[in-house]
Amino acid sequence: MTNTTNAKPHFQYTHLLLLSSLILLALVLRVYQLDTHSLWYDELLELDVAQGPFLSIGPQLPRHAAMPLDYYLMHAWIKLGRQEFWVRLPALFFGVLAIPLTYALARRMLNRRVGTLSAVLMTLAFFAVRYSRETRPYAMLLVFTLLAFLGLWQVYRTHKMRYWLVVIVGLSGAALSHYFSIFLLLPMGLFVAIHQLYHLKEFTFWRHTLCFALAVLIMALLFALNGRILVLYSVSYRFSNVVNQPETLVLPAEEKPNHGSGPPLEPGFFVTDVLSPLSTTIPTVLLWYSAFFLIAVLSLVLHRSASTKAILLLLGWLILPILLIYVFLLHRGTFYATRYILYVLPAYLILVAYGMDRLAGFIVSAMAKGPYRQGVLTVALTILLAPALFAQVDDLRSYYGADAREDWRAVGRLLYNHAAADDVIMAIKAEPAINWYYPPGATPFETYSRSDPVNAALRQYKRRWFVLSSYSYRRDENLRNWLAPRAAKIVIDRRVVVYLQEEGKSAGDMLAEVKAFNLPPNAITYAHLAEQFKQQGDIETSRAFYQKAITLASSSGLKAQYEARLAALPHLSDTILE
């Protein structure tokens, strides 16, 4: 005879141990190489605002289309340290916190197995790991979204009014994290409205509806207190016209409010930019995820049960914000970034986990009975989960091995080592990067976005550093052409280049100075300088720099390319004869 009194605590202890192990694994995956790469452009935009005076943060945020909570947090956080590892820790904390919250939500909505599967998928999800490692508000938004849905589910599951406090905290935190939190109100509002329609004569449900209205009002007040209510009204008014005038979605880019085309109007977009981030970049395993998602959806038709309500809420949470974001960006003519949909990831993974659980349950019912059911169920779930885990590990391996977006840290070190106190640093559209990594050259954002300030600096300073990047390319093309015969070009990476130029000196003079610099240990830096030395006729230095580039090359193909260029250099005897 089984001792059920002892079995239940043992069962709970096992799940607690498993969840703790997942949290530890999530922490390891998010801490690993956290400070390997430089802060990238978007992180630096936020940090540049956050490092300023507290009262100046709010007025700067409208131009960044940002809400203040993460900025205020970072304002306090960076007073304790400025290292890449340190400033990324808050996002990491929220990213790890999403694991137990996903488990708690899935367990209460469906069952404990689905909770465990969802937590496993969230732990290893490349999409979640990536945005738990950046100084941006998206991991924070994810956590507040989870809190809001967990609270809402508990409200209607238990009818305890205290859970409305969780909903209000979740929605308020989400509102203070990002504008797109407003799109959560549609699936949540529909959930509340449907309950109300089915229980018009029950006072408890009227109380719930009033509490939801209070949560919406608090969100509106938060937007108003941050000076966004008129902007939201104006934007939403124009956006609402799309319902009556859908042809505005296909207007030419120059006729849209933000003068861009927005996300593409093609079905393939939803595979590459929506489904792949939510699941995996590996096509066969993406189909694997999709199959379980489809099983979860079909269970609505094939097996009506207590899970129906949960699945409908999850589908609303997943689909409605994605569609609203897509249509909004298409209407505005604004670029789409996958990070905008991170806050729907738990809904998708819980549905996938539920599909796995349903299929495993079917397998067990067909193959095993009695005491073997639990063992067969565990084996079936492990087999069904394995391809998803292998795919995520593969995506994570590629992510960890990828080059940095841009190496602003190397720019800062170069300037610290070689810029003089009376030099001017002109970072076109990249002032925040210099403000963070080289404070002596700090200037307000977009100081040098126009020709007049650049010309004024040229007249005032004799020695000049120009920091140009892909973020400024359209604006600085003429400047690049002007610098070409006058400056030494130090390529930092594929996106960032630094020019050193001085009044009265030629490019050759500047290269002679750069030859003695402590340069970033990048193959691309040495290869580009080697080519410039070759053009100046300094074959010996060109040869030395190509040899250094070969040593630093990150791939065999790049190494072979540099070796070919080195071999093509004229021999010293040939240059003497010439």
Q: What confidence tens digit (pLDDT) does each residue in 427-460 have? A: 999 999 999 999 999 999 999 988 899 999 999 9
What mean pLDDT do residues 366-389 have? 82
Q: What sign does the CA torsion over 131, 132, 135, 139 have?
A: positive
Sequence length of the chain is 578
Instruction: Give residue 477's pLDDT.
Output: 85
What the block records as the tokens of 550 is 């070969």
Decide if pLDDT at 575 tops 60.
no
Instruction: Give residue 576's pLDDT.
Output: 42
What mean pLDDT do residues 468-494 have? 90
- Range with the lowest mean pLDDT among 38-47, 257-266, 530-539? 257-266
Please say whether the beta carbons of 26 and 99 come within 8 A: yes
Question: Cβ-count burial of 64 within 10 angstroms (0-12 exposed, 13-18 middle, 19+ buried)?
Answer: middle
pLDDT confidence bin for 578, thresholds 50/70/90? very low
- Which amino acid is present at 293? F
Mean pLDDT taken over the chain: 91
- Range with the lowest mean pLDDT among 132-141, 173-182, 293-302, 308-317? 293-302
Higher pLDDT, 9 or 116: 116
- Which amino acid is present at 478? N
pLDDT confidence bin for 554, thresholds 50/70/90? confident
Instruction: Give residue 245's pLDDT.
Output: 75
Decide if pLDDT at 7 tops 70.
no
What mean pLDDT do residues 569-578 have? 58
Decide if pLDDT at 291 tops 60.
yes
What's the pTM? 0.92
pLDDT confidence bin for 363, thresholds 50/70/90? confident
Instruction: Give residue 240's pLDDT.
Output: 75
Residue 211 sits at φ, ψ, to 5 deg, of: -65, -40
What mean pLDDT do residues 313-342 have? 94
Instruction: Give residue 303's pLDDT.
Output: 65
Cα 403 to Cα 193: distance, rounded to the nearest angstrom: 48
Instruction: Give residue 183's pLDDT.
Output: 95
What mean pLDDT do residues 396-406 have? 90
Q: Given the structure tokens 């409208």, which residue do they identify?
A: 62
pLDDT tens digits along 37-96: 999 999 999 999 999 999 999 999 988 889 999 999 999 999 999 999 999 999 999 999
Higher pLDDT, 379 or 234: 379
- CA–CA distance from 328 to each of 321, 338, 395, 549 (Å)? 10, 14, 30, 46
pLDDT confidence bin for 113, thresholds 50/70/90? very high
Decide if pLDDT at 343 tops 80.
yes
